[in-house]
């Protein structure tokens, strides 16, 4: 299964959107991982007196209102944002897969009940639920935030997985496996899941973009990730009073958000195209 | 004294609920009371057109589908009564080769893994032993063992079908259900696979239930042929008898309709008129009545379902099977 | 005997699909095809998958799928008119009106959301102006002609409401709607049961005789060919390898592929003969080389067959064989 996923990624990288997205993602990921280690200025040493300074040789992205290097903050913030997004997405994926596989394979009333739950959950706006939760729970720890984001995002995935399972259940190779004596566990893990993995990967990639936007929005509203932990949304929030006098304090974090979501969407597009068996 | 049959099917029935919103749509009797026996080492060809129930029959016999009524005895064991564990161990002895060489192999598995899976499920041999077994199987079906690491989409239709056969043989079954194994293949490749199946039957003493819609194909392998129409067997007998002296009008029509690659063909074509009954509304009498051209057909045919009875060297389900049907003389050559 | 009117003349037809990326070569699934058809004649184009027979049929109507193109030297003349030069309105005039087509899979070729009648009306009014009721009348008459048991009901039905055989008949009606001189039937019965196939082929025969139409019958089934075609052209890997009148082809096939094919197919009439398979596989369009494309599988190959492409050798009365053995036998 890993082999076929790698193969899919390889094919996606052949598309121009895949290459662009992949490159962008790679830059962002490397920047987020290594940046805080190699960049000269720390992300967090407030100097109220100095204030915001425009981009210069020493500070390529300038400094914010507390004279903290914006580039470093973006790198550190990137770590947080990307980690939150990836972890939340993984949680969503796992939950969605589990429910989808069980519903699709078992069928009958199990399927019916599970899908009605999913239907009900999909009817409630995600942002609403999250906002409600975060307003009540003001100082939410990071781990809890990830769980909240992940637990509210698995519904569509479960539908997707269920659809794939239903589609594949009657294919010859599934019947053949059962004819050989394969039980449900083997059928699901070796035959159904790997063939559903393609669309799953696409959904997952696009889902990461969703979570990043969601998290940035929450931070911008003052919920979600709290200072002093840097986050891109939080940086934009802090930049609000300075937007006219020191626009770079808002532009760079904003650009980082855009770049990440763009990269992720491009990658998702390319994966989608690569899934189509007619592409090279 | 003939050997005990390997497979005995009695009055097998399988229904599918009708499609559509209302129950009033009716159920489809895909298999409607089928009985036959298979001796070890024999090939029984099952022919029929779409809707005849032949594919459903194949799946019922290996319990990939659950029958609604009737009995299946495999090597003396009541197949329908087996629990999951018993069924699992019995599965080793009966395998299926599927029609579609594209859909019947998991596109995400290498073909070597596909063939090996049966060995893994039944815990046959150690790791290295399995590798050798797979290589031997590849050679046996005429595939280069180097292909073990390829994916199905890299192989041709004929090669994929061979992989399917190797997969079925991996657990060393004595009985194989071949469901249209060559229908999706090119003509020049069909012969390769058919010859392979013939060879395997001899080298491994296999018993085949060979399902196909093409009588010419079935004839190559089958010792006996069963002709299905509308969920029932309408004629069954030795191959030569079925092909040479068919008794049921449908068998005649079927034989006549098979295109023969000979422009000077002498026998006349019987072209059926009329439509088969709707699958959800089986008539009380003979299901072939609406298209039957037998001169003796009458009211009895619409009220009384004909059962299989001995006629000549075969068994035919027709009230008037003994009455010879005079086929119109062939048209004079142009 | 009067010389029959030449209806269709194809010379040097080559269809090219440009290579995808760098380092790949173009593929030519159809190469150097020469065919001709007289009025009222049935020519069968026989081949397996990858032979290029369907593409050849499509090219007559300018329906080769993108990015395929006809090579400059290709010529398709319909009673003198060069079809490859036609575009737009002129091409539209040919489609349906002079050349009709019956496609392979009726379920895929009929629009599922329109009734048969609507689709038939569309075809009928494409080439002549008819009032709606006139079109309805003609449409029903056509459905009756193709053997639909209840034409009125069939006219109002949606494709999925009809059986496979009836759908195929509806498709034939669509092909005939423009009253074409030439009907291309691409595997018209492959998706059907054998008994229904026999019915459909009878119908096609009758229609052809009634209308004096020529038929290009594209199929992989030699049995279908034997009873129904006047002449046969056998295709392999994009080229015509043998062309002859039907009876003679079956009695004395000249090309090794034709011979091998006849030995390899299971048949009902010859008792006690084993099948002789053709070893190897059909090469895919990207894999072709400059020798005879059948040579790796040919039991009678000469050394030169692998490297030099054999010419189409005229072996007598309207008989062509693309083979070095044929060339040898002439000298």
Q: What is the pLDDT of residues A184-216, one digit of tens each?
A: 888 888 888 888 877 888 888 888 888 888 888
Mean pLDDT, chain C, whole residue set: 86
Q: Under DSSP, is residue B237 helix (H, G, I), strand (E, B) or coil?
A: strand
Report yes or no: B174 and B93 within 8 Å, Cβ to Cβ. yes
Q: What would the pLDDT profile of B300-327 be if each residue is shown by its tens digit?
A: 888 888 888 898 889 998 888 887 665 5
The residue extents of the domains of chain A are 2-275
Please, which pLDDT band fits residue C1 given cuts at 50, 70 and 90? very low
Whether the CB of C224 is below 8 Å from some CB of chain B: the reply is yes
Higher pLDDT, A81 or B275: A81
Banded pLDDT at B332 (limits 50, 70, 90): very low
SS (H, E, C) C62-103: CCCCCCCEECCCCEEEECCEEHHHCCHHHHHHHECCCEEEEC
Strands (DSSP E) contained in A33-189 are none
Q: What is the pLDDT of residues C68-86, one digit of tens each?
A: 888 888 999 998 889 888 8
Query: Residue B39 pLDDT more than 80?
Result: yes
Measure the CA–CA gap between A74 and A70, rounded to whole angstroms.
6
Between A and B, how many CB-CB pairs are < 8 A?
Answer: 65
- Cα B236 to Cα B45, B181, B240, B290, C269: the distances in Å are 9, 21, 11, 21, 20
> How far is B256 from A180, CA to CA, in rounded Å?
39
Residues of chain B with pLDDT > 70, as a percent, come to: 92
Residue C254's CB: how many other CB atoms inside 10 A?
A: 22
Tell me, yes or no, if C197 comes closer than 8 A to chain B by beta carbon. Answer: yes
- A276 has a pLDDT exceeding 80: no
Q: Report which listed range, A80-94, A262-276, B16-30, C185-199, is most confident.
A: A80-94
Of the listed ranges A223-232, B145-154, B185-194, C105-114, the least confidently predicted one is A223-232
Question: Across the interface, do B186 and C223 touch by the CB < 8 Å criterion?
Answer: no
Of the ranges A41-45, B80-84, B165-169, C108-112, the best mean pLDDT one? B165-169
Predicted confidence (pLDDT) per residue in B85-113, tens digit: 889 889 999 999 998 888 899 988 889 99
Q: What share of chain A is helix, strand, coil (3-state, %, to 5)?
A: 75, 0, 25
Per-residue pLDDT band for A279 (boundaries 50, 70, 90) equals very low
| For testing contact with chain A, the best of B107, B109, B173, B209 (most A CBs within 10 A) | B109
CB contacts of B272 in chain C (<8 Å) are: 195, 198-199
Check CB contact under 8 Å for C49 and B49: no
Is the ipTM of this structure higher than 0.85? no
Best mutation target among B181, B191, B243, B287 (most C Cβ atoms within 10 Å) is B191
Count Cβ atoms below 10 Å from residue A92 Cβ, excluding itself.
26
Domains, chain C: 6-94+218-266+273-306 (3.40.50.300)
Tell me how far CA of residue C38 lies from CA of A5, C79, C194, C207, C213, in angstroms.
56, 10, 29, 17, 10
pLDDT tens-digit series, residues A90-131: 999 999 999 999 898 888 899 999 999 999 999 988 888 888
In this complex, which of A172, A173, A181 lies closest to B91 when CB atoms are compared?
A: A181
CATH number of A2-275: 1.10.3720.10
3-state secondary structure of B168: helix
What is the Cα gyration radius of chain C?
Answer: 21
User: Quick one: residue C20, left, alpha or beta (phi over 0 = left, psi -120 to 50 = alpha)?
Assistant: alpha
pLDDT band at A280 (very low <50, low <70, confident <90, very high): very low
């Amino acid at each position: 299964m890993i082999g076929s996923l790698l193969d899919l990624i390889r094919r996606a990288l052949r598309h121009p959107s895949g290459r662009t997205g992949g490159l962008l993602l790679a830059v962002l990921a490397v920047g987020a991982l290594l940046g805080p280690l190699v960049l000269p200025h720390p992300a967090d040493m407030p100097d109220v007196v100095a204030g915001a300074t425009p981009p210069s040789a020493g500070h390529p992205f300038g400094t914010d209102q507390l004279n903290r290097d914006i580039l470093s903050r973006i790198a550190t913030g990137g770590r947080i944002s990307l980690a939150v997004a990836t972890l939340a997405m993984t949680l969503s994926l796992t939950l969605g897969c589990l429910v989808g596989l069980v519903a699709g394979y078992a069928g009958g009333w199990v399927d019916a009940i599970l899908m009605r739950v999913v239907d009900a959950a999909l009817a409630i706006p995600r942002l609403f639920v999250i906002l409600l939760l975060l307003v009540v729970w003001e100082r939410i720890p990071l781990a809890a935030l990830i769980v909240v984001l992940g637990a509210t995002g698995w519904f569509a995935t479960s539908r997707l997985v269920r659809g794939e399972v239903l589609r594949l259940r009657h294919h010859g190779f599934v019947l053949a496996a059962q004819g050989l004596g394969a039980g449900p566990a083997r059928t699901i893990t070796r035959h159904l899941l790997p063939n559903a993995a393609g669309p799953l990967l696409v959904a997952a990639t696009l889902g990461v973009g969703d979570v990043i936007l969601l998290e940035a929005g929450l931070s911008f509203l003052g919920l979600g990730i709290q200072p002093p932990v840097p986050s891109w949304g939080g940086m934009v929030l802090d930049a609000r009073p300075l937007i006219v006098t020191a626009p770079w304090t808002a532009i760079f974090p904003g650009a980082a958000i855009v770049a990440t979501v763009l990269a992720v969407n491009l990658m998702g597009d390319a994966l989608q195209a690569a899934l189509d068996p007619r592409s090279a | 004294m003939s050997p005990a049959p390997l497979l005995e099917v009695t009055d097998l029935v399988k229904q599918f609920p009708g499609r559509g919103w209302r129950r009033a749509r009716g159920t489809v009797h895909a298999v409607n009371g089928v009985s036959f026996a298979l001796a070890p080492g024999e090939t029984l060809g099952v022919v029929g057109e779409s809707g005849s129930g032949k594919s459903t029959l194949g799946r019922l016999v290996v319990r990939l589908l659950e029958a609604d009524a009737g009995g299946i005895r495999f090597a003396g064991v009541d197949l329908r009564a087996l629990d999951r564990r018993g069924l699992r161990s019995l599965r080793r002895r009966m395998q299926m080769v599927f029609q579609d060489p594209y859909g019947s192999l998991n596109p995400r598995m290498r073909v070597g893994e596909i063939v090996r899976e049966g060995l893994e499920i039944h815990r046959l041999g150690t790791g290295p032993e399995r590798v050798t077994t797979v290589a031997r199987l590849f050679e046996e079906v005429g595939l280069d063992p180097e292909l073990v690491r390829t994916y199905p989409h890299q192989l041709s239709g004929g090669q994929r079908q061979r992989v399917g056969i190797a997969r079925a043989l991996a657990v060393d079954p004595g009985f194989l259900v071949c469901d249209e194994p060559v229908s999706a293949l090119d003509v020049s490749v069909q012969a390769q696979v058919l010859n392979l199946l013939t060879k395997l039957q001899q080298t491994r003493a296999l018993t085949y239930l060979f399902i196909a819609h093409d009588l010419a194909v079935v004839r190559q392998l089958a010792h006996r042929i069963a002709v299905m129409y509308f969920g029932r067997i309408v004629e069954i007998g030795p191959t030569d008898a079925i092909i040479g002296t068919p008794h049921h009008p449908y068998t005649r029509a079927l034989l006549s309709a098979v295109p023969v690659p000979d422009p000077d063909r002498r026998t006349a074509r019987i072209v059926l008129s009329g439509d088969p009954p709707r699958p959800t509304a089986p008539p009380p009498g003979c299901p072939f009545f609406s298209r039957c051209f037998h001169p003796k057909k009458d009211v009895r045919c619409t009220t009384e379902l004909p059962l299989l009875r001995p006629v000549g060297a075969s068994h035919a389900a027709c009230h008037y099977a003994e009455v010879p049907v005079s086929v119109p003389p062939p048209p004079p050559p142009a | 005997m009067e010389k029959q009117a030449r209806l269709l003349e194809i010379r040097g037809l080559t269809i090219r699909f440009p290579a995808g990326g760098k380092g790949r070569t173009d593929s030519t699934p159809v190469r150097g095809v020469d065919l001709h058809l007289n009025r009222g004649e049935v020519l069968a184009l026989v081949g397996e998958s990858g032979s290029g027979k369907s593409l050849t049929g499509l090219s007559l109507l300018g329906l080769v799928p993108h990015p395929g193109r006809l090579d400059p030297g290709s010529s398709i003349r319909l009673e003198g008119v060069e079809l490859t030069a036609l575009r737009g309105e002129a091409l539209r005039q040919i489609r349906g009106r002079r050349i009709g087509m019956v496609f392979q899979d009726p379920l895929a070729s009929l629009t599922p959301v329109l009734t048969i009648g609507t689709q038939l009306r569309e075809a009928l009014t494409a080439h002549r102006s008819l009032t709606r009721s006139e079109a309805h009348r003609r449409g029903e008459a056509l459905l009756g002609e193709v053997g639909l048991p209840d034409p009125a009901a069939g006219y109002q039905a949606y494709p999925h409401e009809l059986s496979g055989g009836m759908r195929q008949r509806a498709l034939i009606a669509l092909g005939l709607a423009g009253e074409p001189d030439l009907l291309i039937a691409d595997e018209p019965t492959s998706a059907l049961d054998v008994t229904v196939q026999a019915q459909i082929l009878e119908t096609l025969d009758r229609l052809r005789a009634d209308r004096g139409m020529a038929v290009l019958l594209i199929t992989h089934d030699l049995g279908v060919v034997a009873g129904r075609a006047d002449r046969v052209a056998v295709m392999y890997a994009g080229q015509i390898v043998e062309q002859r009148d039907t009876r003679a082809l079956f009695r004395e096939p000249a090309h090794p592929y034709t011979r091998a094919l006849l030995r390899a197919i299971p048949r009902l009439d010859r008792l006690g003969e084993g099948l002789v398979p053709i070893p190897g596989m059909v090469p895919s369009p990207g894999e072709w080389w400059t020798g005879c494309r059948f040579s790796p599988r040919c039991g009678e190959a000469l050394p030169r067959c692998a490297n030099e492409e054999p010419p189409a050798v005229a072996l007598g009365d309207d008989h062509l064989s693309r083979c070095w053995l044929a060339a040898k036998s002439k000298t």
